[in-house]
Each structure stands twice: as structure tokens, then as C-alpha cells.
Structure 1
């Protein structure tokens, strides 16, 4: 393996340090890119245990964003809320479901919203303990809709008696406000199938998004074990029941299995388990990288996926929609309602019934 000067320096640092190599020792590296490269190598070869990297990055980022608050008391309050509310949700996820890039982004936005509220209060010569509902209403009226993300923080501070009883509306948006036209969606499908020069993995990923409404985070999480091929029919495990994959997407997936594309394949101890391997050893492709590649082909992830969801919800019963494509029944019901499908009320009723039957400690999957 060819070693650049930076890589040689990193290995020398590890070799001269006392004690075993741990995730914490790599976290202390000033060169974060190099640390992540070394971490991927060590995890792939069994030297380090696998960990939830997105969650670990949030834990490392949290003190930095809290440092924007000048008062120690307010920093402690925000940190306690962050650890007992948004971060706790991630820690309670099953080990086989690590934090996704989308979840990590949402948690960061939620924490930043709380910090920005406190910064705004200081600009008004006020503070968290002196905050009133009038302050909150003025704050929400003078800023973007993202400020509504403070709702969870306010409810927690109210329950913990850090503030008066404060609230904010739910942060919601219409499911189908950002959507491409159906004709545009099918033009993109035609382009991925017929235009020469497009990489196989980009064709496959784009068709998974356009035909099966799979977001980049789920596409990147697909493994070789999710592909079920008997030589005649290829099925893909997206939900609880494998879905049959039509041509030519089935051929593209077979090609990915035969010739996986990965810059790190020479350093892998064995063939990558990921259908879309990334540039780091033992890791899947990053959803942000995949979104960027698709955008270069004219495929914007959110609006094209929304178009796919709308069409699928109009064609499939919500129960089938959720089982085949891996969405919760509530999400299926929501999209059924957006599409005007007749099954919407029935699916919503089934979802509420299923949720009521679940134990209280087993929350329904998020939409």
C-alpha cells in the first residue's frame, strides 16, 4: 500500500503512542479525514469494533455548538435536553439500524434551533428563564419556518421548570409541495436506461429512486444479502416482503454484484457486503455523495422521490405499499391521502390500530 507523507505521519503517531488504538485516540487526530480513513481500515480488518459513526460525530460536534452560548447555566440546560431527548432517540435504536445521514442532519437542526433561540433572547436583553410566550411568538413571526423546531426544547424546559409554560406549533410541511411533474420523472427514467456513458451504479441508484421511491440513505444501506436472485427473477429486499425488480434494473444490479465499484476494494479483506460500497474501507457510499452524483444527472433526490411516492401511492394499496417499499403504514396512508387514493382512510385506520396494539416501549417507525 502506497503511503503519502500525511499517512506516514499518522501511522507514526499511532505507533509511538502509548496504549491500544481506540476510536477515542483516532478522534483526537487533528486531521479528521485521515482519522476517518484509518478508522475505516481498522474496522474493516477487525482491529476496532464497528460504531455508529453519525452518532459519534454528533457527540463530537455538540460541545462546539454549545460553545456559542456564553452562560454556563444555559449550556447545561441545552446539553441535558439534547442528551435526554433527540440524542436519546438515536441511542435507543437497534444496533442493526445505525443513524442515517438524514437523522443526523435533523438532530443537528433541532439542537441548532434551541441554541439560536437563546442567542436571539440575549439580543433582546432577555434570557431563557425570563422568556415568555410573547417572546416565542415574536421570535417565530420574524424568522423562517425552521424556527418551529424549538417545540421539543420548549416543552422539555417547561416540564423541567427551567421556563414558564411555553410552546410552539408543530414543524410540518405538505408532503408534495416539492415535486417534479410525472412527465419529467419518466423522462429521467428513459435517460437512465438509454443514454450512453452513465455509470452502472448511477443508473441503478437513479432507477431505485425513480421507480421505488428509495431515498439515497436507504440505497446506500443496501447489502448484497438484500438481493435475492434465482437466475430467472431478481427480487430486492426493501421492506418486509421482497419486491420483484423489472428489466433493465435487474441486469444493472447483477452487474453491481459481479463488479462492485469501490476505490477501497484493494484494501478490503473480502468482497464488500455493500451493494454501493464507498471510498472508505468497509463502509457504504455516503448518501450525500450519491445525491451529488444523481444531481449531476438532473435527478434531484427529494422532488423526484416525492413524484415516485405520489404515483406509487395512487397505484398500490397502502398495506402493500408499506410492506414492499419499507415505509410505515402511516407514511403510506399520508401519501395515499396526497394522491387522492380511496384507500387512505382505511390505511390510516389500520395504522392507528396497529400502533395502539404495540407495547408503549416500542415506538412506531418514523415516517
Structure 2
């Protein structure tokens, strides 16, 4: 199967999405009521799974996205397992039941909000709701000087593998998680010989030296255990151990941790700095984040654009103010 994918006979499959599709019937099997199983399956396929199916082909489902979808579906299944003990069911559930359920368990129970709104709209239940599931985005974050010390190390210390050096700088300077870094392809690199731009969001971002030179080297000489088995140059900037597949995010995270770079807290530090410096619209378009994520990080950083970002994310903003284009300078490595 994998050699056929590598040689272009079969299309590349979204592995995380395929695993969720296989897992869904198993978790739904915990629900004894066939009608409730059908409702949950319909919601799952038309809401969380549909979001994954609509992603661009060059950006497959990440490990983090897959975990989030599983947690959301599990939260719904647990609610429906809890209701019979209260003498209720999905059809007869009241807001008092929902409030009691949320008050007696962990914050992860709030993930039922999307399901409740969907069942209310489709008249499977009466009007039900739950608060947004939120967390402190900056709770796990490294200090700014630690982040820049890691940047200096990647730029200046000899002996660090090129792909680790490049991936680390993409995380530390542009807040790209390992899942997105691994999904970068040669087509995402736009190089006119003078300026190199990288497609991280809807608008390519200019890459400063020395990171631009590292990316050029990766395009010329891809590094991976299986790239020699492919009929031509690997399409991935970070080829994996399997022919035709990129490096696994877990493997990249392990390599970065060996260099002292903990992906989540260092990425959070990068997000905090970028949100404080860039307008929300630029933050969203250049770095490939949703406007809601931009708004959340704007609020955490206390940036001047926070009210505007929140307004846009709620979907109530009018036309975009002038001078909020993609001309903001890219972060520069020392």
C-alpha cells in the first residue's frame, strides 16, 4: 500500500481522519439506545468530522486536531451514559440536567456545547446550551529570554542537524506546531532567488536569514530514511521513515525535546509575542491560524488590536480597516 502511495498510484490518505472514522462506531457502541446512536453519529459526521474533511489537501488532520475531536465525541457519549441514571434521556433532557452534569464533573464536560446547539436546532432536544470550553492559553509558557536563548542556540551552535535546526526555528519564530511543520511541502516554498517566502497561511510570509538558507538547503537535499525509495525528490520538506509520507509529528517533537525545546510552552511564548506585535488579521492570514485563535491570543497578550480581533471573531465586524494587510515584518532571527 505505502509503495503505491509513494509512486503516485494511490492518493495520500489522511491517516488521523481515517483512524477517527474507524474509531467512531466503537465509541458509539457504548450507547444502548439506537436512536441516540444515530443522532450522535449524524452530529459527529456533519459537525466535527465535516470540519476535517473540508481542510485543504496539503494540510491533513494533525494529531492535536484528532485528539480534540475524540475528546468532543467522548464528552457527548458520557453525557448520554449519565442521563439514564437521572431518570432522563436525550429527548427529555432539560437545562437543569445539563447544569447539574456540568457542575459535578471536570471542565472537559463543557465540550458538549456544540452537540447541544446542534440537537436544539434540529429539534432532537429542547433548547439546551453550555458555556464555552476555555483554558488559560498562556498557562504553559516559557520566558521570553529562554525562547531567544533557544533561537541563538539553533542559529549558532554547530552539530545540530539541519532539519532540527529548521523545524525549531519555525516553531520558535513563527509559532508553527510540529504537525504543521511536518506537513510542509516543497510547493509551500516560494523562492525567486532573492526572497524566500513560505506558505504557512493564506498569504505567504517572508522568511529572514539564516532560516531562508536552511529552507533552501532542505529543498535541494531532503533528509529522510525513505526518500531514496521515491521515484523523484520527496514532496515533503521533512520526509518521514515511510516512503511518500512526511515525518510524524511525534518524532519531530521528540527530536526537538532532545535539544531542550518543549514544543507547547515554547510555541506559546512565540504566539504571545506575535499576537502583541501583529494586527489580528495579519496574525491570522500569515501564520495560518483562525481569527478566533488570533482573538484569543490578542486578549492574552493585551495587544492593542484585541477588541478588534474579538469583534471580527464573533462575526459581527464590518469591512476590514485599511492598512491591515500582510506587510508586517516577519520576526527575525538574531
* TM class by smaller structure: 0.7 to 0.9
Give the match for residue 301 of structure 2. 339
- Runs of 5+ in structure 1 lacking a partner? 1-37, 359-367
How far apart are residue 208 of structure 1 and its match?
A: 0.4
1:166-213: CA deviation from partner (whole Å, max 9, x where unpaired): 221111223323221111211222232334443221111111010111
User: Which fold has the larger relative contact order, with Cα–Cα distance below 8 Å and residues 6 or more apart in sequence?
Assistant: 2
Give the match for residue 42 of structure 2. 80
Correspondence list, 1:36-115, <5 A: 38=1, 40-115=2-77
TM-score (norm 1): 0.77
Give the match for residue 215 of structure 1. 177
**Distance change >3 Å, CA 97–CA 258, structure 1 → 2:** closer
- Runs of 5+ in structure 2 lacking a partner? 321-334
140, 143, 149: which one aligns with 1:178: 140
Partners of 1:60 and 1:174 lie apart in 2 by 32
Partner SS, residue 172 of structure 2: helix
Partners of 2:314 and 2:116 lie apart in 1 by 27
Worse-matched range after superposition: 40-49 or 330-339: 330-339
Q: Which entry has the higher C-alpha Rg, 1 or 2?
A: 1
Contact 2:311 2:317 in 1 (8 A): no
Counterpart check, 1:274 vs 2:236: yes
Give the match for residue 291 of structure 1. 253
How far apart are residue 224 of structure 1 and its match?
A: 1.3
Worse-matched range after superposition: 273-282 or 314-323: 314-323
Correspondence list, 1:204-243, <5 A: 204-243=166-205
Counterpart check, 1:192 vs 2:154: yes
Worse-matched range after superposition: 255-264 or 124-133: 124-133
Partners of 1:154 and 1:345 lie apart in 2 by 28
Partner SS, residue 80 of structure 2: helix
Give the match for residue 124 of structure 2. 162
Give the match for residue 33 of structure 1. none
Give the match for residue 18 of structure 1. none
Give the match for residue 163 of structure 2. 201
Partners of 1:203 and 1:217 lie apart in 2 by 16
How far apart are residue 62 of structure 1 and its match?
A: 0.7
Contact 2:58 2:183 in 1 (8 A): no
Contact 2:201 2:286 in 1 (8 A): yes
Give the match for residue 316 of structure 1. 278
**Distance change >3 Å, CA 150–CA 345, structure 1 → 2:** closer
Partners of 1:70 and 1:350 lie apart in 2 by 42
